[in-house]
């Protein structure tokens, strides 16, 4: 996609809605530092961060310039240049089953100033993003959320979960297989250049992963953002038996001050393009001397680490929702992925915004390829049939949420008995959906 998405006009409907509250809705010229800097300040303030330094502000102005950036302003405010509502977005690629990708609209930096709540700002911003993405022909919108109670009203559903792991190293030893390759230390600067190819190969294996933009990658490496904290980061790379890099991990070790064996190893980021690489990296990390606890956040909910340690109960796991998706084009979204079993499924989808509204027939062949057609009248005999909202369909999309579970929760209605089980058979993913970072 060209850079036209950055300058495409703001949504007229949301602009009119905000104008009725004496608020102005518009784009930010990210090439104009004088205009972009107040927007960045508003985002930092909205997420309760400290005021950015001049260096940090310059990094953000440069690093985030390729996003579509919009804001809401009150021209009568004491500081009219700083927006009272913000959002940014950009096109990306979302990994879907099985080892495929679809175009997605990533939404981030959603803030509303506390004194401007209940004026419809968040509603206008999010609906504008969805209508804009739909107008640009993008079938799915995605976001990560700090609050899980907001986004379902806009048709988003939690589609990829995450697990925070805490491992008591006093209770475990490695019992997994011996990897075929080797682990080597690598500088963060070298990893910046070499790591992206590994990340892209790994992304294709994990439904829910999106492309990591360069500025975020620099932050993960500690080479942008909080550079002081970045000084404590170390990196290792796993090379397979033929010498090809297949994974890496970034971590830091903190001293608790208690005794030598009480230090905490915090895995900041670990990605692998092969299972052998994952085993090699984890083996290296859990066998490090003087470590009492290993922490790893934002891991997959089916992370197999516990099966490779002598005591799986030493691995504490806290799960939560992480990636939320919102289908904008049912046909393009469903035809963009592959399914686990052949079938014929009728879907009656409700969508308050009307973007994904309608009845469709999903025909899945023996190879898992799908064809979606509008459905008028009764579904063919033998077809499964569900009534559901776009939020529920979006939750099901990557195969990590069960239709049967949603039916028991009253979120999905079976028009024909057994339909939820049929949907689960086709939609399920052999790999739990997972996104490895916040955006």
pLDDT in tens, 249-307: 999 999 876 666 789 999 999 999 999 999 999 999 999 999 999 999 999 999 999 99
Is residue 271 within 8 Å of residue 247, measured between CB atoms?
yes
Confidence (pLDDT) at 208 = 98
Q: What is the dihedral of CA 411, 129, 347, 161, to 10 degrees?
A: -50
Coil, strand or helix at 278: helix
Distances (CA, A) of 288 to 284, 298, 319: 7, 21, 26
**Helices and strands, counts by H and E, the chain:** 13, 17
Q: Is domain 163-319 annotated with CATH 1.10.600.10?
A: no
Domain 329-427: give its CATH superfamily: SCP2 sterol-binding domain (3.30.1050.10)
The number of beta carbons lying within 10 Å of the beta carbon of residue 189 is 11
Coil, strand or helix at 250: strand
- Where the chain has pLDDT below 70, the residues are 1-2, 257-260
Opening angle at CA 88, ends 122 and 324, nearest 5: 70
Confidence (pLDDT) at 260 = 65
Confidence (pLDDT) at 136 = 97
Kindly report, residue by residue over 128-162, the tens digit of the pLDDT: 999 999 999 999 999 999 888 899 999 999 999 99
Same fold, 163-319 and 329-427: no
Name the nearest CA neighbour of 305 among 165, 209, 170, 412: 165
- Cα 67–chain centre separation: 16
The number of beta carbons lying within 10 Å of the beta carbon of residue 103 is 19
Is residue 105 within 8 Å of residue 91, measured between CB atoms?
yes
Here the tokens at position 247 are 């994974």
Count Cβ neighbours within 10 Å for each residue of 212-238 and write b for 16 or more, e otherwise.
bbebbbbbbbbbbbeeeebeebbbbbb
Confidence (pLDDT) at 149 = 86
Quote the CA–CA distance of 81 and 77 in Å, as a whole number.
9
Mean pLDDT score across all residues of the chain? 96
Domain made up of 4-138: CATH architecture: 3-Layer(aba) Sandwich (3.40)
Is residue 128 within 8 Å of residue 12, measured between CB atoms?
no
First to last CA, the chain: 20
Q: What is the dihedral of CA 191, 196, 197, 202, to 10 degrees?
A: 110
* Domain segments of the chain as ranges: 4-138, 163-319, 329-427
Residue 184 is given by DSSP the state: E
Quote the CA–CA distance of 416 and 408 in Å, as a whole number.
15
Quote the CA–CA distance of 292 and 283 in Å, as a whole number.
15
Length of the chain in terms of residues written: 439
Handedness of CA 340, 344, 346, 352 (dihedral sign): positive
Coil, strand or helix at 82: coil
Name the nearest CA neighbour of 210 among 107, 329, 64: 107
Confidence (pLDDT) at 418 = 97
Confidence (pLDDT) at 361 = 98
Quote the CA–CA distance of 297 and 302 in Å, as a whole number.
13
Quote the CA–CA distance of 73 and 56 in Å, as a whole number.
24
Quote the CA–CA distance of 98 and 155 in Å, as a whole number.
24
């Amino acid at each position: 996609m060209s850079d036209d998405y950055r300058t495409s006009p703001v949504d007229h409907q949301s602009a009119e809605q905000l104008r009725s509250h004496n608020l102005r809705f518009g784009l930010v010229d990210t090439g104009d530092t004088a205009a972009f800097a107040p927007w960045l300040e508003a985002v930092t303030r909205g997420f309760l961060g400290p005021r950015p330094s001049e260096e940090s502000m310059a990094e953000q102005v440069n690093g985030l310039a390729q996003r579509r950036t919009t804001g809401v302003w009150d021209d009568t405010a004491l500081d009219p240049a700083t927006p009272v509502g913000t959002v940014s977005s950009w096109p990306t690629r979302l990994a879907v089953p099985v080892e495929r990708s679809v175009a997605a609209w990533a939404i981030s930096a959603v803030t509303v100033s506390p004194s401007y709540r209940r004026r419809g700002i968040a509603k206008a911003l999010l609906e504008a993003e969805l209508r804009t993405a739909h107008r640009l022909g993008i079938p799915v919108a995605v976001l990560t959320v700090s609050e899980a109670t907001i986004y379902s009203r806009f048709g988003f559903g939690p589609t990829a979960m995450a697990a925070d792991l805490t491992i008591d190293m006093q209770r475990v030893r490695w019992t997994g297989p011996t990897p075929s390759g080797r682990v080597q230390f690598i500088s963060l600067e070298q990893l910046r250049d070499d790591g992206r190819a590994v990340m892209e190969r790994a992304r294709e294996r994990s439904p829910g992963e999106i492309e990591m933009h360069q500025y975020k990658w620099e932050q993960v490496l500690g080479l942008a953002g909080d550079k002081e904290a970045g000084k404590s980061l170390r990196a290792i790379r796993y090379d397979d038996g033929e010498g090809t890099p297949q994974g890496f991990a970034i971590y830091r070790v903190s001293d608790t001050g208690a005794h030598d064996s009480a230090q905490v190893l915090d895995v900041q980021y670990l990605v692998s393009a092969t299972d052998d690489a994952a085993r090699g990296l984890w083996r290296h990390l859990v066998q490090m001397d003087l470590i009492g606890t290993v922490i790893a956040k934002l891991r997959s909910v089916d992370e197999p680490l516990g099966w490779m340690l002598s005591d799986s109960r030493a691995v504490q796991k806290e799960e939560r929702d992480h990636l939320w998706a919102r289908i904008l084009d049912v046909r393009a979204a469903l035809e963009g992925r592959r399914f686990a079993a052949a079938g014929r499924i009728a879907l009656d989808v409700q969508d308050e915004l009307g973007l994904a509204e309608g009845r469709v027939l999903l025909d899945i062949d023996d190879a898992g390829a799908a064809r979606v057609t509008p459905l008028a009248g009764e579904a063919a005999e033998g077809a499964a049939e569900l009534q559901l909202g776009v939020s529920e369909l979006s939750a099901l999309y990557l195969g990590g949420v069960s239709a049967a579970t949603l039916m028991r929760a009253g979120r999905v209605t079976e028009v024909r008995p057994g339909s939820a089980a049929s949907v689960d058979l086709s939609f399920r993913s052999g790999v739990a959906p997972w996104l490895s970072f916040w955006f």
